[in-house]
Structure 1
């Protein structure tokens, strides 16, 4: 079965794209390799994203080797998923691209954060299903 390379792209690569990479690594690594990057990066992953993913989902992004990256640091990708940042992403060669249009939970309450996290988790699971089916079809 083909193992896809999926890049989750956001403006700062500090929150939504990092969480999507984490869920991809935790729950879909049998179907696709997860990467994340930003068009301009912050110097750290959002502390609330780190805390909530670790306490609620048992995912330690730092221990898993995640860090902020720019898009030029990514390998060639099959799939590009943008998070809905409202910025123009650079042209990136890929087989498929989609925008998830997610609000940025940075600086919001834990409840808002968890709503966005749950949406990312759901969409990552659906992406896994679609790519697994596509791999079986050949």
Structure 2
């Protein structure tokens, strides 16, 4: 599937929307500079974003302290060009014509910031690769 020339939309999904999907969405928002519409959600959202994730992202210069986990909706999937799952299993709805990627990443839940840093760094690298693919710098 090709990504539309206009502003593509990406949805990051994990179970609690408190760690991996929040980091991925924050990196893509930060790096894309408005070239990509970014969403994140969870199949069973937590009450708050993981504090170790907030701290690890702050170390990278990105403040996600005000973010709140959101519930995954069919509309969010339907309105996204690319859906990236991170351990949400079979709870993610599948629609024809969407591009689905499954990023297998360690879960930062219950871990300290030292354990979150390598997960954060891997997510950043994957997001950079995705951004180069769907919205290269020379594109509007």
Normalising by structure 1, what TM-score?
0.85
**In structure 1, the residue corresponding to 2:135 is in which secondary structure?**
helix
Q: What is the aligned length?
A: 131
**In structure 1, the residue corresponding to 2:91 is in which secondary structure?**
coil
Q: Does 1:68 align with 2:41?
A: no
**Is the contact made by 1:22 and 1:59 (CA closer than 8 Å) also made in structure 2?**
yes
Question: Among residues 25, 41, 45, which one is paired with 1:41 in the alignment?
Answer: 45
**In structure 2, the residue corresponding to 1:74 is in which secondary structure?**
helix
* Structure 1: runs of 5+ lacking an equivalent: none
**Is the contact made by 1:31 and 1:131 (CA closer than 8 Å) also made in structure 2?**
no
* Structure 2: runs of 5+ lacking an equivalent: none
Cα distance change of structure 1 residues 61 and 109 upon mapping to structure 2, 3 Å threshold: closer
Normalising by structure 2, what TM-score?
0.83
- Residue 19 of structure 1 corresponds to 23
**In structure 1, the residue corresponding to 2:115 is in which secondary structure?**
helix
Deviation at 1:86, TM superposition (A): 5.7
- Residue 84 of structure 2 corresponds to 81
Cα distance change of structure 1 residues 67 and 123 upon mapping to structure 2, 3 Å threshold: same
Shifted more, 88-97 versus 108-117: the winner is 88-97
- Residue 111 of structure 1 corresponds to 114
What RMSD over aligned residues (CA atoms) do the two structures have, in Å?
2.0
- Residue 55 of structure 2 corresponds to 51
- Residue 126 of structure 2 corresponds to 123
The whole-number CA distance in structure 2 between the counterparts of 1:109 and 1:67 is 20
**Is the contact made by 2:41 and 2:72 (CA closer than 8 Å) also made in structure 1?**
yes
Deviation at 1:51, TM superposition (A): 1.4
- Residue 104 of structure 2 corresponds to 101
Q: Does 1:4 align with 2:4?
A: no
